[in-house]
A and B are shown apart, each in its own frame.
Chain A
Amino acid sequence: MKGLSTLHQRNSMVLAIVCIVLCLVVMQLWLLTATMEAFLGGEDFIVWPAAAASLALFGLNFGLLHFYLRTLSC
């Protein structure tokens, strides 16, 4: 990448991506525990919307990881 040619800039980008991915994974963990709690309490209506939200978070993670592995780490 021309705009991110220096090691320092690339390093900052990678760290930012890792931090964002980490935050998204923590959100997914919270979503999973909240969904399990609701499911055990007999509230089924929340299960599939929560799964869709988790899938969306994974999509975001995947995009960021793809950017990191394909673009930044070369």
Chain B
Amino acid sequence: MKIDDHDHVTIPPNGKAHEPQPAWREEFPIDWPKDEFRSRRDFTKMLGLTSLAFVAGQVWIGVLSIMRKSRSAPARMDLGLLDELPIGGAKRFEFPSPGHPCLIVRLEKDSVVAFGQKCTHLSCPVIPNAELGKFLCPCHHGSFDIKTGRPLAGPPRRPLPKIELEIKDGRVYAVGFAEAGA
């Protein structure tokens, strides 16, 4: 291939004039401006596809929401005797299935609460501190209210998932998850 119009067909990668270029450049005329060119039309089309992808993402969240609602209630779990837990003490358990760490904390003689142990920021395990009345996250210094699970400080913005408890004959049972905001 003979390059007739150098200004419009090709610019050598080294930026030098066309005449001293080696002969192989005529066989491989890399056109840098065209190679790097992204037209406005292509960019706008890409924006359209991105917009469609966001709609698909929203629909996917909707599907996940439906799947979560239709999931059956978790099986009731025996967490042991209430009196085994000292006031201000905490015990770790896994609910509703292994791999989902939770904490039960006895706040007062007849007051006991349980929450998921994963911090809602980046899933670090939170540590209860009954004296301060907080769950503390050591990773980014986040903290949650020990009674409600609401975020108090640090990066977490969502509350810890609250577990509904039932006390029967001195034994504590985990019976499910409380609704958000409950």
Contacts and interface: CB of A to CB of B under 8 A. Distances in A.
Interface in B166-182: 179-181
Interface residues of A, number: 34
A61 B47 contact: yes
A32 B54 contact: yes
Given A18-B43, A42-B161, A25 B51 contact: yes
B160 to A, nearest CB: 11
B138 interface: no
B37 to A, nearest CB: 16
Interface residues of B, number: 29
Contacts of A24: 51
Contacts of B161: 42
A41 B159 contact: yes
A35 B69 CA distance: 16
Interface of B is mostly: helix
Contact of A32 (B52, B58, B64, B180): B58
Interface of A is mostly: helix
B61 A35 contact: yes
A21 B61 contact: no
B40 interface: yes
Nearest to A62: B48
B159 A54 contact: no
Contacts of B48: 21, 61-62, 65
B65 interface: yes
21 contacts: A17-B44, A21-B47, A28-B55, A32-B58, A35-B61, A39-B65, A40-B158, A41-B120, A41-B157, A42-B181, A43-B181, A47-B58, A50-B58, A50-B61, A51-B61, A58-B51, A58-B54, A61-B48, A65-B47, A68-B41, A69-B45
Interface of A: 14, 17-18, 21-22, 24-25, 28-29, 31-32, 35-37, 39-44, 47-48, 50-51, 54-55, 57-58, 61-62, 65, 68-69, 73
